[in-house]
Amino acid sequence: MERWAPQKKDTMEALANEILHNYAHGRVIVGVDGRSGSGAAGFADDLAVALKETGHQAFRASLDGFRHPRERRARGLFSDGFDYSLFRRVLVDPFRTAGSTGFVLAGFDAERDEPVFQPKWQSAGHDAILIVDGVFLHRPELRGIWNYSAWVETPAATGDEADAAYIAAETPSVLATAIYDNTDPEHPRRIFADSC
């Protein structure tokens, strides 16, 4: 007998409702973390759609838009992959300000291996939601950013050495607000890892 699994739309609606219930007013930043190849980006895209369907302004960014240059990344993705200072300076801090301050959803073009030449400055309403996907989002440098965070779980075979080092060092599934099994992206399931 095949095990029942929720539809993606139902899972995303439930997650969107939980976030909106817990953070009804003010700007909110949601982190969607997962191993390389876990489907965290698609999961974050689907969450943004669900939030927009409730009438909220939702913005999408990826930590991949804040990488270090290729030469520096060669030292190791886990240790030198991302420019967290740039991420905070042009996206997180201005987004939290909530006034007329503009923010940028990407500061580095990894394909061209150079900073974004003419970044698109965005502005948002007071109750906007920013959803950021990426690897290593529960590192100490980033932990205080997220109002809510999800760990997207997939079979261990999809990860690499950097993912293994991160999981061993930080245990992101313990730090995340919620855990989702994304083995079947059309039927993501929430996992409750607590014990009674």
Domain membership flag for residue 128: yes
Tokens of 191: 């996992």
Q: Spell out the per-residue pLDDT of the chain, length 196, in tens.
A: 456 667 899 999 999 999 999 999 999 999 999 998 889 999 999 999 999 999 999 999 999 999 988 887 666 666 778 999 999 999 999 999 877 789 999 999 888 888 888 889 999 999 999 999 999 999 999 999 999 999 999 876 566 888 888 999 999 999 999 999 998 889 998 998 776 5
How far CA 40 is from CA of 32, 46, 107, in Å, comes to 6, 10, 20
How far CA 116 is from CA of 59, 99, 109, in Å, comes to 18, 24, 5
Domain membership flag for residue 2: no
Q: How many domains does the chain have?
A: 1
Domain limits for position 107: 8-191
CATH value at residue 99: 3.40.50.300
Burial profile 34-65: b = 16 or more Cβ within 10 angstroms, e = fewer:
bbeebbbbbbbbbbbebbeeeebebbbbbbbb
Domain membership flag for residue 44: yes
